Amino acid sequence: MLQGYKSFAGVGYHVNIEDPLGFAKVGITAAYTPEKKLPGNERGHVDMTGSYLGWHGELSWNRSDFYDLFGPTKRSRKGNAAKGGYDWLLIYDEPRKLDLTFDLEYYDKIDTLPNAQNVQTTFTRLATGKVGLRYTDVRRSLGAVDEEKGLTWMLEFDENHVSGQDIPQLRGGLDLGFALPLAHSSVWMRSAAGVASGDRNNPVANFYFGSFGNNYVDDGTVKRYRDYSSLPGFKIDEVSALSFVREMVEWNLPPVVFESLGTPGFYLNWLRPAVFAAGLWTDPGRSALRKNYASVGTQADLRFSVLHWYDMTLSVGYAVGYQGSRRAGSEWMISLKIM
């Protein structure tokens, strides 16, 4: 198999191991990047993941990723990482769910922040503890292709330990959706806010924003612009802040459903358009650092099926970014979700 590491391509092998009932799962990936521009200690890559019921863990050395070959978002990282956590379902009464999560992460010999690919570190070790709470109660009508109404909220507390310092971060979010009289059309208000305690010059203390976040070929969420850290029209991690408030209004237009377009081995399901506008206020409590940003854009998602079994989504988006009243940039996005 092919693997991506930073901006280079490598080769490797992946194996999955699991019990007959699928409760316990282990995935192992070993790869090598034969690139002379890389130091010798970065050419080998190992990543092991495991899960059992609500438990999950990961061990990695110079983590590589197949999807790094296709676009701007990079998941590969130099160094060693050990992660573990537990997801506890407090409420499971669909569509209502309440999930409490615990995670511990340790990184060594790193040169880049784990969650910000364009931010270099001045340290090599980082330990992080996370506690999160997430509630969802969303609904859709018969024939819909997306959630049409309801609410979700989340609250997460992170404690970062680096260079003898403890740097806490607190972040929350609230999404409210309302169905419109138009068939399968809805409006969503998506809010997020966060605050951290630490030095503005310390990269760990900041929140980072920018870009749609989709790769040209991807396996992640299709509508990545809904994430709190997304800011289409700006570069990845271009905007940073110790505290922030983000508001988004999203209008999901009625989808176009294809009844008989294609063949049994390849056919189109639906086309889902949406428009959005987001405002971001960084460091609102500090007049010397306070800045305002905005993003206005659109995205259309085309769902199609291949060989009766594989559902794929082709997404195209465009957005314009503003800093204050000044146009700061624009961004095109095209992405094919294959898994």
90 and 168 fall within a common domain: yes
Domain boundary among the residues 35, 69, 103 is at 69
225 and 282 fall within a common domain: yes
226 and 333 fall within a common domain: yes
Segment 292-306 mean pLDDT:
97
Q: Are 229 and 248 in contact (CB under 8 A)?
A: no
> What's the pLDDT at 320?
99
Which ranges of the chain would DSSP assign to H, the alpha helix?
none
3 and 97 fall within a common domain: no
282 and 191 fall within a common domain: yes
Domain boundary among the residues 69, 96, 126 is at 69
159 and 84 fall within a common domain: yes
184 and 276 fall within a common domain: yes
Which ranges of 29-168 would DSSP assign to H, the alpha helix?
none
56 and 76 fall within a common domain: no
286 and 204 fall within a common domain: yes
> What's the pLDDT at 263?
86
- For the stretch 219-248, pLDDT in tens is 999 999 999 999 999 999 999 999 999 999
- For the stretch 52-89, pLDDT in tens is 999 999 999 999 999 999 989 999 999 999 999 999 99
CATH number of the domain residue 171 falls in: 2.40.160
130 and 242 fall within a common domain: yes
42 and 141 fall within a common domain: no
- For the stretch 86-132, pLDDT in tens is 999 999 999 999 999 999 999 999 999 999 999 999 999 999 999 99
Angle at CA 77, nearest 5°, toward 43 and 238?
135
At 2 the three-state DSSP class reads strand
Which residue range forms the structural domain that includes residue 11? 1-69
- For the stretch 163-184, pLDDT in tens is 999 999 999 999 999 999 999 9
41 and 154 fall within a common domain: no
- Angstrom CA distances, 67 to 102, 172, 317, stand at 27, 29, 19
Domain total of the chain = 2
Q: How many Cα atoms sit within 13 Å of 223 on the Cβ side? A: 20
Extract the tokens encoding 216: 């040209």
